[in-house]
Amino acid sequence: MNERKVKVTRRGADRLQNGHLWIYRTDVEDVPAGVEAGDVVALVDGRGRFLGKAFWSARSKIALRVVTRDEVPVDEGFLAGRLSDAIALRERAFGDEPFVRLVHGEADLLPGLVVDRYADVAVIQTLVPATDRRKALLADLLANALSLRTVVERNDVRVRELEGLAQVKGVLRGPEPGPLEYREGAVRMKLDVLGGQKTGAFLDQRENHLRAGEYATGRCLDCFSYAGGFALQLARRAERVTAVEMQAPAVALLRENAVLNRAENLEVVESNAFDYLRDRADEEPAFDLVVLDPPAFAKNKDALPAARRGYKEINLRAIQVLKPGGILVTASCSYHLAEDALEGLVLDAANDAGRRVQVLERRGAGRDHPVLLGVPETRYLKCFVLRVV
């Protein structure tokens, strides 16, 4: 099929040349009549030179998402090949690990597609019209490649509304998944792929959960605990762990996971983490390790000023409740808050608390969430392991 040609500006062409995959609507010069949301189009510059093929979005500010720089058909065979490449990368990095992110959107050169695997169940998110139109095909390709029992869609995310897509969730292939369980190292976790947050679990933090557990000792505190990814790893080594979570369904799941892992040294507190930290900030420092893993405070640029205040507040309070020599594991999944900005906020918080901070590790999302150079949006999670003196 000869795709219709879309002309982009010099600025747009330069952006592609520098490695990015997105073209904004302001850099689209000419769109032929009849091009519909989700179509594959050929990109050309002002001289008519071929630049690549891209998914077209009719509503989003991101009008074009490049899928290939080659003049090849973007068809079933193409998509199967890209999925095969993504699966092979995870097998190389993790062997036969059955709980992984299989596709990480642009980072796997499949814009607008996320796939998480939990053994014989896959959860997909089709976030742009092009992948949404092809979700039945994608579900079939995944089911066949991995002998999956069930493929679920978790398209109940607000970002789809920017593309003119409705929020939906349900089973695409196979029977209802039912209750599931997955593992992070020796820790067992219950899983609800249809009702839980994200696709049911926070796989991007899995390697950081395991790493934090290696620092655990004495008394530990996990704030914004959700299902206990950090808390349960800490409980394997610490004398006592307090996990703070304010959402009742997550609290219930966290308590189930504590029982599942026989973590009798894990105390679950249903509370706002800000309030919990503030109430203990004036007490004698009591914790040997504190984890801060909040939800994204800055979902867009406009929210950044308030987000900065929030991140500084929780880091200040966490530093105040840490014993000298204690470990702070602090994370942000807000793309709009850069790593150096988070580091600066932690420094400001430490100065306000009259403490000094040593950086032990700078970490990010797990290896199943690769970063594509040239597309900084694929690097969103920041995680510092710090020592507070």
**Which residue has tokens 């952006």?**
15
Taking alpha carbons only, the member of 380, 368, 366, 333 closest to residue 100 is 368
Helix or strand run (H / E) with residue 82 = helix 76-94
Q: Is the separation of the CB atoms in 152 and 131 below 8 Å?
A: no
CA distance 198 to 206: 14
Could you say which DSSP state residue 48 is in? -
Determine whether 333 is an active site residue. Answer: yes
User: How many CB atoms lie under 10 A from the CB of residue 338?
Assistant: 14
Per-residue tokens: 202: 């926070």
3-state class percentages of the chain: helix first, strand second, coil last, to nearest 5: 35, 30, 35
Joined tokens for residue 26: 């302001």
Sole residue written with tokens 């040239």: 374
- The first and second tokens of residue 104, run together, are 């990480």
Give the whole-angstrom CA distance, residue 36 versus residue 52. Answer: 18
Question: Of these residues, 220, 223, 333, 383, which one is catalytic?
Answer: 333
Token output for 45: 């510059």
For the chain, the distance separating the N- and C-terminal CA atoms, rounded to the nearest angstrom, is: 64
- Please, what is the Cα angle at 275 between 271 and 278, to 5 degrees? 140
* Catalytic positions: 333
